Amino acid sequence: MGLEMSVGQLPDFHQGEEGRLLLPSGCEVSITCFESAEMQRLITSFIEESLYALALAGMDLRALDGVTVALDARKAAREIRYVPHGAVPLERNDQPETIEIGETAAVRRGEELRFHIVLRAGLGLMALSSKADEQALAWGCIAHEAAHVEHESHMYGMFPEIFDGTLDC
Protein backbone atom coordinates (compact mmCIF):
# COMPACT_ATOMS: atom_id res chain seq x y z
CA MET A 1 0.00 0.00 0.00
CA GLY A 2 2.43 2.70 -1.08
CA LEU A 3 0.98 6.01 0.08
CA GLU A 4 2.12 9.51 -0.72
CA MET A 5 1.54 11.76 2.22
CA SER A 6 1.93 15.51 1.79
CA VAL A 7 -0.70 15.88 -0.89
CA GLY A 8 -1.28 12.55 -2.48
CA GLN A 9 -3.76 9.84 -3.17
CA LEU A 10 -4.90 7.12 -0.86
CA PRO A 11 -4.67 3.79 -2.65
CA ASP A 12 -7.32 2.72 -5.11
CA PHE A 13 -10.10 1.45 -2.86
CA HIS A 14 -11.66 -0.64 -5.63
CA GLN A 15 -9.24 -3.52 -5.94
CA GLY A 16 -10.47 -7.11 -5.96
CA GLU A 17 -13.14 -8.01 -3.42
CA GLU A 18 -12.84 -4.60 -1.76
CA GLY A 19 -14.58 -3.06 -4.79
CA ARG A 20 -17.89 -3.93 -3.19
CA LEU A 21 -17.25 -1.49 -0.36
CA LEU A 22 -18.95 1.90 -0.57
CA LEU A 23 -15.72 3.89 -0.86
CA PRO A 24 -14.56 6.38 -3.48
CA SER A 25 -12.31 5.01 -6.18
CA GLY A 26 -9.60 7.12 -4.55
CA CYS A 27 -9.30 10.25 -2.48
CA GLU A 28 -6.73 12.87 -1.64
CA VAL A 29 -4.98 13.05 1.70
CA SER A 30 -3.06 16.12 2.84
CA ILE A 31 -0.83 16.00 5.91
CA THR A 32 1.55 18.90 5.47
CA CYS A 33 1.49 19.95 9.13
CA PHE A 34 4.04 17.24 10.00
CA GLU A 35 7.47 17.32 8.37
CA SER A 36 8.36 13.72 9.18
CA ALA A 37 7.55 11.43 6.26
CA GLU A 38 7.26 8.52 8.70
CA MET A 39 4.71 10.39 10.80
CA GLN A 40 2.75 11.30 7.67
CA ARG A 41 2.80 7.65 6.56
CA LEU A 42 1.60 6.38 9.95
CA ILE A 43 -1.23 8.90 10.22
CA THR A 44 -2.30 8.23 6.63
CA SER A 45 -2.33 4.51 7.37
CA PHE A 46 -4.50 5.09 10.45
CA ILE A 47 -6.94 7.16 8.38
CA GLU A 48 -7.04 4.55 5.61
CA GLU A 49 -7.65 1.70 8.06
CA SER A 50 -10.41 3.73 9.73
CA LEU A 51 -12.16 4.37 6.41
CA TYR A 52 -11.95 0.69 5.47
CA ALA A 53 -13.38 -0.35 8.86
CA LEU A 54 -16.26 2.10 8.49
CA ALA A 55 -17.04 0.88 4.98
CA LEU A 56 -16.90 -2.72 6.18
CA ALA A 57 -19.46 -1.76 8.83
CA GLY A 58 -21.73 -0.53 6.01
CA MET A 59 -21.05 3.19 5.87
CA ASP A 60 -21.40 4.78 2.41
CA LEU A 61 -18.32 6.93 1.83
CA ARG A 62 -18.45 7.17 -1.97
CA ALA A 63 -18.84 10.97 -1.73
CA LEU A 64 -15.62 11.36 0.27
CA ASP A 65 -13.36 13.88 -1.46
CA GLY A 66 -10.39 13.48 0.84
CA VAL A 67 -8.93 14.08 4.26
CA THR A 68 -6.78 16.99 5.40
CA VAL A 69 -4.87 17.10 8.67
CA ALA A 70 -3.98 20.70 9.53
CA LEU A 71 -2.72 22.85 12.39
CA ASP A 72 -5.75 25.14 11.92
CA ALA A 73 -8.58 22.84 10.85
CA ARG A 74 -11.20 25.60 10.82
CA LYS A 75 -9.12 27.74 8.45
CA ALA A 76 -8.32 24.76 6.20
CA ALA A 77 -12.02 23.85 5.96
CA ARG A 78 -12.98 27.46 5.24
CA GLU A 79 -10.45 27.60 2.37
CA ILE A 80 -11.85 24.54 0.58
CA ARG A 81 -15.56 24.85 1.42
CA TYR A 82 -18.00 25.30 -1.46
CA VAL A 83 -20.27 28.30 -0.95
CA PRO A 84 -22.98 28.82 -3.59
CA HIS A 85 -22.87 32.14 -5.45
CA GLY A 86 -24.54 34.84 -3.39
CA ALA A 87 -24.68 32.76 -0.20
CA VAL A 88 -23.05 33.91 3.00
CA PRO A 89 -21.36 31.12 4.97
CA LEU A 90 -22.37 30.86 8.59
CA GLU A 91 -19.56 31.37 11.08
CA ARG A 92 -19.53 29.44 14.31
CA ASN A 93 -18.83 31.07 17.62
CA ASP A 94 -16.10 29.62 19.77
CA GLN A 95 -17.49 27.53 22.60
CA PRO A 96 -15.14 27.86 25.57
CA GLU A 97 -15.97 24.39 26.93
CA THR A 98 -15.28 22.57 23.65
CA ILE A 99 -12.33 21.80 21.43
CA GLU A 100 -13.08 21.39 17.75
CA ILE A 101 -10.96 18.56 16.37
CA GLY A 102 -12.60 17.98 13.02
CA GLU A 103 -15.19 19.03 10.52
CA THR A 104 -16.53 18.04 7.13
CA ALA A 105 -16.72 20.58 4.32
CA ALA A 106 -18.71 20.39 1.10
CA VAL A 107 -16.46 20.90 -1.93
CA ARG A 108 -17.35 21.28 -5.59
CA ARG A 109 -15.39 19.11 -8.04
CA GLY A 110 -16.63 20.06 -11.48
CA GLU A 111 -20.34 19.31 -11.50
CA GLU A 112 -20.08 17.03 -8.48
CA LEU A 113 -20.49 17.95 -4.83
CA ARG A 114 -18.22 15.92 -2.57
CA PHE A 115 -17.31 16.08 1.10
CA HIS A 116 -13.86 16.61 2.59
CA ILE A 117 -12.89 15.73 6.16
CA VAL A 118 -10.59 18.20 7.91
CA LEU A 119 -8.90 17.14 11.16
CA ARG A 120 -6.71 19.00 13.64
CA ALA A 121 -3.07 17.98 13.79
CA GLY A 122 -3.52 16.92 17.41
CA LEU A 123 -5.92 14.22 16.28
CA GLY A 124 -3.18 12.79 14.08
CA LEU A 125 -0.90 12.67 17.11
CA MET A 126 -3.63 10.98 19.17
CA ALA A 127 -3.92 8.30 16.46
CA LEU A 128 -0.26 7.46 17.07
CA SER A 129 -0.52 7.56 20.86
CA SER A 130 0.41 4.53 22.96
CA LYS A 131 -2.72 5.24 25.05
CA ALA A 132 -5.72 3.22 23.91
CA ASP A 133 -8.22 5.91 24.98
CA GLU A 134 -6.49 8.54 22.81
CA GLN A 135 -6.44 6.20 19.80
CA ALA A 136 -10.13 5.44 20.41
CA LEU A 137 -10.93 9.15 20.47
CA ALA A 138 -9.06 9.66 17.18
CA TRP A 139 -10.91 6.75 15.59
CA GLY A 140 -14.22 8.03 16.96
CA CYS A 141 -13.62 11.48 15.50
CA ILE A 142 -12.85 10.04 12.07
CA ALA A 143 -16.01 7.91 12.33
CA HIS A 144 -18.03 10.97 13.34
CA GLU A 145 -16.79 13.01 10.38
CA ALA A 146 -17.28 10.05 8.03
CA ALA A 147 -20.89 9.89 9.24
CA HIS A 148 -21.22 13.51 8.12
CA VAL A 149 -19.94 12.49 4.67
CA GLU A 150 -22.57 9.77 4.45
CA HIS A 151 -25.38 11.97 5.80
CA GLU A 152 -24.58 15.06 3.75
CA SER A 153 -24.19 13.08 0.52
CA HIS A 154 -27.55 11.41 1.17
CA MET A 155 -29.15 14.81 1.83
CA TYR A 156 -27.55 16.23 -1.32
CA GLY A 157 -28.89 13.29 -3.35
CA MET A 158 -32.40 13.93 -2.07
CA PHE A 159 -32.38 17.73 -1.89
CA PRO A 160 -29.64 19.18 -4.11
CA GLU A 161 -31.19 22.65 -3.87
CA ILE A 162 -30.09 22.81 -0.21
CA PHE A 163 -26.45 22.93 -1.29
CA ASP A 164 -26.79 24.97 -4.46
CA GLY A 165 -28.59 28.07 -3.31
CA THR A 166 -30.55 29.69 -0.58
CA LEU A 167 -33.75 28.27 0.79
CA ASP A 168 -36.81 30.39 1.38
CA CYS A 169 -38.03 29.49 4.85
Q: Considering just the CA atoms, what is the radius of gyration of the chain in Å?
A: 16
Integer Cα distance of 109 and 39 in angstroms:
29
Integer Cα distance of 65 and 58 in angstroms:
18
Identify whether 93 is part of a domain.
no
Residue 151 confidence (pLDDT): 94
pTM strictly above 0.85: no
Residue 114 confidence (pLDDT): 93
Query: Model confidence over 38-56: pLDDT tens digits?
Result: 999 999 999 999 998 999 9
Identify whether 42 is part of a domain.
yes
Identify whether 151 is part of a domain.
yes
**Secondary structure class of 64 (helix, strand, coil):** strand
Using alpha carbons, select from 111, 8, 110, 15 the residue that is nearest to residue 67.
Answer: 8
Identify whether 94 is part of a domain.
no
Residue 127, domain extent: 7-83+99-161
Identify whether 123 is part of a domain.
yes
Identify whether 129 is part of a domain.
yes
Query: Model confidence over 123-138: pLDDT tens digits?
Result: 999 999 999 999 999 9
Does the structure show a pLDDT above 60 at 14? no
Query: Model confidence over 92-149: pLDDT tens digits?
Result: 556 555 457 789 999 988 888 899 999 999 999 999 999 999 999 999 999 999 999 9
How many C-beta atoms lie closer than 10 Å to residue 163's C-beta? 16
Does the structure show a pLDDT above 90 at 68? yes
Domain count, the chain: 1
Identify whether 169 is part of a domain.
no
Residue 32 confidence (pLDDT): 85
Residue 15 confidence (pLDDT): 54
Identify whether 74 is part of a domain.
yes
